[in-house]
Amino acid sequence: MPRSETPLRSDLFPEISPYASGMLAVDGRHTIYWEQSGNPEGVPVVFLHGGPGAGSAPVHRRFFDPQFYRIVVFDQRGCGRSMPLGELQDNTTAALVADMEKLRTHLGIPAWLLFGGSWGSTLALAYGLTHPDRATGFILRGIFLGARPEIDWFLHGMRTIFPEAWRDFAGHLPEDERSDLLGNYYRRLIDRNPDLHRPAARAWSRYEAACSTLYPTVRAPFETDHGGFALALSRIEAHYFANGTFLPEGWPWADLGRIRHLPGTIVQGRYDIVCPPVTADALARAWPEARYIVVPDAGHSALEPGIRAALVNATESYRLSTSDTELFAPRFPWDA
């Protein structure tokens, strides 16, 4: 059952700046941006942004106590400040997991706490199930597992709650192309002609943004997209959706036993329309050792008041669960 908790903290930590940053070449094509902030000697935590394709932002450092955590934030390949922006070649879930391992090794981190929401929850689980000895725990929000019903819900099901936004989304395509929204959006998004891919990117991004919060926001994201971030987001999302998020059917249920011994917290907005609670509920039932927190007055966005409070409470709970770093110490075969 979902648990209610006495809040440890109600809002984000103050703004901070990185103490180190750089670009890491992960293969012959892709270079990823990374940064570290907080305490260089603290407990390592890695922030995994959503999308796929959304990129990171300075606010993502603020979920963590900078006196306690060594905060690693990076842009997944093709996203944000990583180069080349919006690149789809060699862009798969397995490649992102491999990039994380290269970054962990590059930074000299034995193991880290995995913090991710939406697509970030998918990537956190994909990494943790591949490298359970390099994970110290999980804080997951707005659960998305990349299954076909979840993708179909994004493309079609959200119209049951946001018919106006969906009508604009579908209406961007000619009527004879609306029977295959994903295929025809993808075709436009990968087209070299900016007169095709830019309007498609704005329409896709507006649709997702309109459905992501419980209450409407005054922002009109990606209206101009001079930096190309809407194109990167929509193009990479469509690429992953068209390829079934590069995960096998039935993932991750058979493999959860590899991580169930690790600390886990699942935070879910009751009215999350982008990633409905049914998936988080299934994960919580398959992982009963994890804390499952349903925020009653929130949608999908990590920055809605109830969601951000629950996430900060989760990072504080990890901090208070140990007086030193024993809980987060790396576990190697010879330590058994």
Phi-psi region of 125 (alpha: psi -120 to 50; beta: other; left: phi over 0): alpha
What is the sign, positive or negative, of the torsion defined by CA atoms of 88, 93, 98, 100? positive
Distance CA 224, CA 217 (A): 17
Half-sphere exposure of 27 (CA within 13 A, CB side): 17
Q: Half-sphere exposure of 162 toward its Cβ, with a 13 Å CA cutoff?
A: 27
C-beta separation of 47 from 73 below 8 A:
yes
Q: Which H or E run contains 269?
A: strand 264-269
SS3 142: coil
Q: How many Cβ atoms are within 10 Å of 168's Cβ, its own excluded?
A: 14
CB-neighbour burial class of residue 29 (10 A; exposed 0-12, middle 13-18, buried 19+) = middle
Cα dihedral sign, 184-189-192-198: positive
Catalytic residues: 118, 272, 300
Helix (H) or strand (E) run with residue 69 in it? strand 69-74
| 168 alpha-carbon distance from chain centroid | 25
Question: Which tokens belong to 169?
Answer: 């989304």
Angle between helices 163-171 and 194-210 (to 10 degrees): 170
Residue 160: Cβ within 10 Å count: 10
- Contact of 265 with 312, CB cutoff 8 Å: no
Using the structure block, give the residue that is written with the tokens 């990374």: 34
Q: Is 298 helix (H, G, I), strand (E, B) or coil?
A: coil
